[in-house]
Amino acid sequence: MRRSLRFDRNARFGAATVGVVFAAYVNIATDFSAFVQAANYAGVLGTDVPAVDVAEFLLCVALYVASFAIFPSTGARRVAAVTLVSVVLFLWAAVGIERGVGNITEPAEFWVFVGDQGLVTLAASLGGWLIVRERCALSFLVLVVIFVPPIISRVLIDSSVTSGSFTLAKIGAVTLLGIGGAWLAAAIDRAVDRRGEASPHSS
């Protein structure tokens, strides 16, 4: 007799993992400067398609929300991850739009740094992942890697690389930093657990 398919804990984990990875890819591979331009200059740019730009941004948000919402974790952690992603992405979009129309100007270098697409992608993806995976507080130190993409961006810009090389380098860097950060957090979590188990016997 054929077994019926069940969306059990393992299936939810797998689906959520694929969803987060795909959302991160969309987040870093899509040129969201087009979205900002669409919001600021809708109907002015001849090559502008505002509906498509907005749809891409909302698709990215929806992928993150759906992925973290089905993750096999506690309800509180799922809500926390969804909240983090929503706040980060919508705040990023809002700041980008305000900078585009000149309402936010100085300090320019600061806003360029914190508004870097790689930084935002890692903050949403890796930050949400650490929350739903219930990692220990110490493992959240790996979030320091979110500050690496803006530095890479500056180096690439100063080196005058082509737009294609820039995009590939950013995608590669974010991918390696995201996966590496997740594994490093898991290693830290396991080390903390082992130390906690060993402590009562060492006294």
| DSSP assignment string, 16-80 | HHHHHHHHHHHHHHS-THHHHHHHHHTTTSTT--HHHHHHHHHHHHHHHHHHHHSSSS-HHHHHH
Helices (H), 70-147: 75-100, 108-114, 117-132
Domain membership of residue 4 (yes or no) is no
Does any domain span residue 1? no
Q: Count of CB atoms within 10 A of residue 46's CB?
A: 5
Domain ranges, residue 20 = 9-198
Structure tokens at 191: 């080390």
Q: Mean pLDDT of successive 10-residue segments in the chain (203 residues)? A: 64 87 85 58 52 78 91 88 92 78 74 82 90 86 89 82 78 88 87 67 46
Could you give the number of structural domains in the chain? 1
Residue 2 lies in a domain: no
User: Does residue 128 fall inside a structural domain?
Assistant: yes
User: What pLDDT score was predicted for residue 168?
Assistant: 83
Residue 185 lies in a domain: yes
Q: Is residue 158 part of a domain?
A: yes
Contact 124, 83 (CB under 8 A): no
Which pLDDT belongs to residue 80? 93
